[in-house]
Each structure stands twice: as structure tokens, then as C-alpha cells.
Chains A and B, each alone.
Chain A
Amino acid sequence: MPFNQKKRPKEQVELISFFDIFFILFVFFLVTSFVVRMPLQERILYIPTPENTLGRAQIVVQFIDEANVFWLDEEVSSLVTEIEENYGYLSDTRLRDRIFDELFNQNVLTLEELDKKLSELRLRANQNPDLEYFLLIRCPNEISYFRVLDVITAISETSFRNIKYGCVGGTFDEIRQCRRIYTVVEIDADGNRRKNIRIDF
């Protein structure tokens, strides 16, 4: 006949101590997670060298200074057309100034707004793999080049790599003092008539 096993009282985890330890560890990991950052390494990012051909881009980002940029995209065409229709009687220079003033009022962005625009562009590019975008970044001499790099990094990681980019030197005043800014009707790859904006320097 087997001996009866001695019955021991079942040990239970003390709930209050358990919560104490749990919360201490939780707070500790919370604090350290703010302090610890992923290590950064020196790595290489490639940038295409600019081509010496007539520039063509869907989006132009012109740095004005360290905190503001001038953003031109296809939506601008309708605005320019409207001004051309309403103020067609003005001389070329005055019409250019009029167009430019309107564009300036509506298309100067802070860096935060630029970030938002670039996120929207990235989202659009991810949702439309067939579309290809070319973004031209123009930067004046005195701006630190990491600003340009920030824009490039913001548009680099798209799922279909359908945002291409290029960067060239150039000032906001060069656009302001361009010979002419106007819309032209062109036929796109699908045979559709499109109004594009053209800037003659």
C-alpha cells in the first residue's frame, strides 16, 4: 500500500508584490527606452548628378531660406491659367509679377508643411505604382546641404521607387525674375491634353 503523500499548502504569488515589481520594471523600461536610440552608422546615400538638359519636373521645391520653401506642382497650372484669363490685358512683365505674387501667397511652406506635403506625395506614389514623379530640388548657395538631404530622404523610401529626384543650385529670386511664367498645352503619354506650367529663365 503506497504511502500517502504529505500534502503541502499550495504556494501562491502575492498579488501586491507582483504589481510592485511589475510597475517598477515597467517604469524602468519606459524611461530607458527614451534614452536608448538605435545606433547610427556612417553609410552611403547615392545622389544622381544633374543632367545638362532642359529641366522638366512635376514638382519643384525651391528653398527660400533655412525655414521656408516654395512649392510648385501641377495644381499650380489651373491657378496660372485663371490669372492669364483674367489679366491677359497686362504686359508680359506685369502679368508675370501678378502670377508670381499669387503663387508666392499660396505656395510658400514651412518645413513642417513641406514634410506633410512630401508624406502626401509618398502616399500617392505608393497607391499609384504606374505613376512616376520627378521632384526637382533647387537650393541657394548659402543653405546647408543637409536640408536638401532631408527632402531626399523623405521621398526615397517608396514601395515602387516611382519618385525620382534631382537637385540643382538656384535661388528664389531667379524664379521671381524669370523672363516668363506661363502655361502650355501638351499631350501626355496617354494622349491626353494637359496644361503644364513653363518657366523661361
Chain B
Amino acid sequence: MRKVFPLILAGIILISVVIWWHYDSTVDVRITGIDAPRTLGVDTIRSNNMNEIKITIQNNETRPVEIKVETENAFVNAEGESVDTFIVFGYDGYRYTDYVSTQDKIKLEPGENELTLLLGYQVTGEQDVHIRIVNNEVVLDEDSFTVEVMPPEISVELDNEMIIQDELEIYNIDAYVLNSGMGRAEGVETTLSIIDQETGEVISSEIRSIVVPAHSKSAFSTWKDSPDGVIELSSGENSDESYMPVLAVAKGKTGDRYVVKLTAIWQDQIAEGVILVPYNNSEIGVELEVEL
């Protein structure tokens, strides 16, 4: 018993030491600055570095300290849930070359450390971002900031060009979805229809889901050398040309007129444009409806 008792006590001490060591919050590590944009466009993390924030952390210890950076609302998915994001160490101008998850530990050198963290939002609106520096489950420091996540602003554009081949008038239709907002529009459901002006019958139409980056525009079709729609008018027989890969195709006689309609829907935004073909190549109206 005399021999065992000291060993039991030694065990107690050791367990105490473990607890003391594990939950030691005397580690002097502080967030000294967060450099973050106040507005961002809705987007997932892409290959540009506009979604970055810089966190400056002062490690006042004389040794490196292992920490985890816990985040809330730094990355919010389409369901509005906060999920883990990335800490990046390398960016070559085109893509991130070196990064870890916020689930991973990182080591802070003594002195000032600067971390680059990525934000990403698949939902719009105000987001309260919370950053915690954690060492062995003890929060060493924490800070917050707010980001306003902006939506895309979509509109549409239609154009056409006529070429003559023998007795055929071929109208090549170009259709675009424009985005003048900060947010990226993913999955814009876009419909290009050719409608007989006289009967109102939809002769042909095509639906595509397209992506429109912020402050940019996207063509309706991804085919490089193809118009988005074709109307072929003939004074005699129409051609056998299928105009593939174009799906929105109408063939008629000289004198026929068609309404070409482009509709783009992203969440609660609907943009619609219409042109009459043939009609002096000019637009008869492009309307933008935003229902917020």
C-alpha cells in the first residue's frame, strides 16, 4: 500500500497537469485587425481573390502557438447554413495554390501574423461574420464584422443580323443575359422563343441554364460559332438545313414576321426582351422587372 499510494497521487497530479496544460488560456494571442470588405457579391469561392479578408493576429508568446480559426457566417451555403471555409497561403494570380480548411490547426509564429481567409455566400443579405481564435478548445480572442451580400442584377439583350443566300433571307439571332450587379448569377433559367406574330403560336424555343458573372454578360448559347436562334425566310422553297446546334429555328415565307422573345429568370428577378423579325433590326422594347 505504501508503494501504491504515491503512484496514485502521482497519477492524480499528472491528470491535473494534463487538464492544466490542455486548458491553459494564459497563451497571449490577440486579433489586432480584420481587413474585410463591407459589401460582396453573392458567389461561391471562385478563382479570384476578391472574397478574401485579412486577419492580423499578434502572438505575444516567445514560441509558436497552434490555433484553430473558428468562423461563423464566413461561408454560407444556399440553405443559409454557415459552413467551414478556407485559410489560404498561396495565390498565383489565377488560383489558390495552397490552403487549409478552418477545421485544421495552424501555427502562429511569435509576433505579428497575417492570415487570409475566404468568404463565400450563396445567399444575399446582411451577414454577421464572427471569428474566434481557439487554442486547445479555449477561445483566446474573437471579433466580428458585417458584410452586405449583394445580388446580381440581370437584364437581357437581343440582336439579329440578316444574310442572303440565293432566295433565302436568314436572320441570325444573338441573345445575351447581362448582369450589372455585384453578385454572380448561377443557374439563370433562360428561354429563347420564336413566335408567329400573326397566330401567336410558339414555333420553336430553347431553354438553357446559364451562368452570368458579376458585371458581365453571357451569350445564350455556349457554341462558339453559332447564333442563338435562326429564322429562315424564303421566296420559294425553304432549305433542308437543320441549323444545328441551334434549336430555336423557324422557317417561313418572305413577308412572314416573328416575335423573338428572351426571358431570363434568376430567383425573384425576371428580365424579358422582345424583337420583331424582320423589323429594321431594331428592338421594340426591353423590359426589366425586378420583384424584390
A, B in one complex = no
Residues of B within 8 A of A (CB): none
